[in-house]
Amino acid sequence: MRDHVFIEGLEIEAQIGIYDWERRIRQPLVFDLELEFDNRVPAASDAIADTVDYKAISKRLIEYVGQSGFGLVETLAERCAALVLEEFGVAAVRLKLSKPGAVRGARAVGVCIQRRRA
């Protein structure tokens, strides 16, 4: 069984990019996450302590990404996926990281990765 909690359209301002001009500004990034876990326990207890706290995950990502300074979205995506797996105990994460406006004519560019606990 694979249940998921999702966070969709989480916008975070970050310093990211490989060009000099990108290193001097903050740009919006958009995160979409699907977090795999067993929903039966929180459904039975109706207790926040038994579920994946999407507010806590969102706040942690906002803090982490806001302080980061990576050149590549690929690097940032890997680090964020590892952070969620390590700190929030989910079985797996699917993370889509979009960089709006990075390419003329495209709404956004980015990466989509899936990582599972070892």
1 pLDDT band (50/70/90 cuts)?
Answer: low
Q: What pLDDT digit, counting tens, does each position of 40-56 carry?
A: 989 999 998 888 999 99
Q: Is 99 a catalytic residue?
A: yes
The 10s digit of each residue's pLDDT in 2-37 is: 899 999 999 999 988 887 877 788 899 999 999 999
DSSP 105: T
- In this structure, the number of other CB atoms found within 10 A of the CB of residue 58 comes to 15
Amino acid in the structure at residue 91: A
pTM across the whole model: 0.91
Residue of 55, 59, 96, 99 marked active site: 99
Domains and CATH numbers, the chain: 3-116 (3.30.1130.10)
